[in-house]
Chains A and B, each alone.
Chain A
Amino acid sequence: MHINSGVAGLMAALVMGKRRGYGTEPMPPHNLVLSVIGASLLWVGWFGFNAGSATAANGNAGMAMAVTQIATATAALSWMFAEWVVKGKPSVLGIISGAVAGLVAITPASGFVDPRGALIIGIAVGVICYWSTTGLKHALGYDDSLDTFGVHGIGGAVGAILTGVLAVAWVGGEGKSGLIDGNPHQVIVQLYGVAVVVVYDAVVSLILLKLIDLVIGLRPSADIEREGLDLALHGEAVQ
């Protein structure tokens, strides 16, 4: 599901092109306190997302909740330390982005991995998504404004693939085991699953975006973009 969003987002960013002024003028977040509140609500809400997916109030839901909390906290720290080492400062944007990356990555895995697996997923996804939203994004040159692809696309893929490695039968049930539980084949299955979603979604999103662009256009005019969408599109603005 996150790979869906991530890939669709990437296609949109590619089709629409960069924001005007991207790369030449700074575009810092205007209010990170809002983002911290938002990320915190996402974190809490995610218990419904993962522990609710058992559709029952039972041990599976409890375990899903536990691994969600563990992977999220681990990924937040992992991203924070990666940024600290590379850039010299741990940022607020970094730790909340790490938390969201952890939530995304544990989602396919919750219900299949144990708490140790969650710890490993958290560590891996924090570092990998830090790289994908900095190194990878700059290397490839696309403008994914708020890192939907970097966090959700890459994070979702990391989680899905690591589920194939770290799944254990005592959590997921009979026959639901991964590489560490004697079923290396599952890693291939997960890779195949990710590839199918990526290809299908990329094609569908590309067609839809091109179609809408042809009929009504996707982007507002350059002037509107420069002076802000709020006033031009909605007739309101935050002072």
Chain B
Amino acid sequence: MKSMHLALRRLMLAASMMPLLALSAVAQAPTPAALAAAPALNSGDTAWMLTSTALVLMMTIPGLALFYGGMVRKMNVLTTVMQSFAVTCLVTVLWMVCTYSFAFTTGSPFLGGTSRFLLQGMTLDSVNDLAKTIPESVYMCFQMTFAIITPALICGAFADRMKFSALLWFIGLWLFASMHRLLTGCGGQTASSTTRAYSISPAERSCTSTRGSPG
């Protein structure tokens, strides 16, 4: 009896909220002009790219961490798995702060764009010109997972003998200096379609596609 009373009260509360909800829905509904300008997102593409992003992140943690961790001596296993994990975190933050903007927006030929610093301007329906059928947030995260595993792979070469502090500095600086320059400074402006190297890795993707400012 008591629970029924409670349910009734909830129902009444919900009913009283309905006009309010409807009002807010009207307020947020896009105008016809905005609908026409909105890019045509494809739910199938988006679903697959969300899945792919998770899969690529899984390659680094726990995939690469375990792969490398198992191969070192027991006294260095925690250092090794920590390297993969810390690189994941460090690159994510750097990517959010500036490297995504440098690598995937238009700006100077050497530095790339600064329009997406701190992901400012990335909205629910913005897209990057390199992938127009998925939300920019998904594309940004997908490319982020690539930026994570690339430096994480390097850790295998100096396993057992790198200071952790030196590792963080090296990975952070390397992300800027090496990966970012390859992403932006690889001659995309001058190379014609017949002289480009074939590759679909993100580093070369920006060479093989027209670079443009994200929507």
Contact = CB atoms under 8 A, between A and B. Distances in A.
Contacts of B144: none
B29 interface: no
Nearest to A60: B200
A108 B200 contact: yes
A9 B157 contact: yes
A41 B69 CA distance: 13
Q: Kindly name the residue among B45, B63, B142, B181 whose own CB sees the greatest number of chain A CB atoms within 10 A.
A: B63
Given A29-B72, A46-B59, A192 B197 contact: yes
Contacts of A13: 157-158
Contacts of B156: 9, 144-148
Contact of B71 (A35, A225, A231): A35
Interface string A196-223: 1100110011011101110011111000
A56 B59 contact: no
A84 B123 CA distance: 55
A9 B151 CA distance: 9
A186 B198 contact: yes
B140 interface: no
Contacts of B79: 229-230, 233-234
Contacts of B196: 189, 193
A236 B159 contact: no
Interface string B40-80: 00101101110111111111001111111111111111110
B82 A234 contact: yes
B77 A55 contact: no
Given A53-B200, A56-B133, A145-B158, A233 B178 contact: no
Contact of B146 (A1, A10, A175): A1
Majority DSSP secondary structure for residues of A touching B: helix
B63 A41 contact: yes
Majority DSSP secondary structure for residues of B touching A: helix
A52 B49 contact: yes
Contact of B160 (A57, A145, A190): A145
Nearest to B79: A229
A201 B178 CA distance: 6
Given A12-B157, A19-B160, A229-B75, A108 B199 contact: yes
A55 B69 CA distance: 31
Interface residues of B, number: 82
A52 B158 contact: no
B68 A212 contact: no
B211 interface: no
B60 to A, nearest CB: 8
A44 interface: yes
A42 B64 contact: yes
Contact of A38 (B62, B130, B164, B201): B62
5 contacts: A1-B150, A4-B182, A53-B205, A55-B134, A111-B200
Interface of B: 42, 44-45, 47-49, 51-59, 62-79, 82, 130-131, 133-134, 139, 142, 145-146, 149-151, 153-166, 169-170, 173-174, 177-179, 181-182, 186, 193-205
Given A55-B133, A205-B178, A218-B163, 15 more contacts: A4-B182, A20-B161, A30-B74, A33-B70, A35-B67, A37-B62, A37-B66, A44-B55, A47-B55, A49-B55, A58-B45, A194-B197, A200-B182, A208-B174, A219-B166
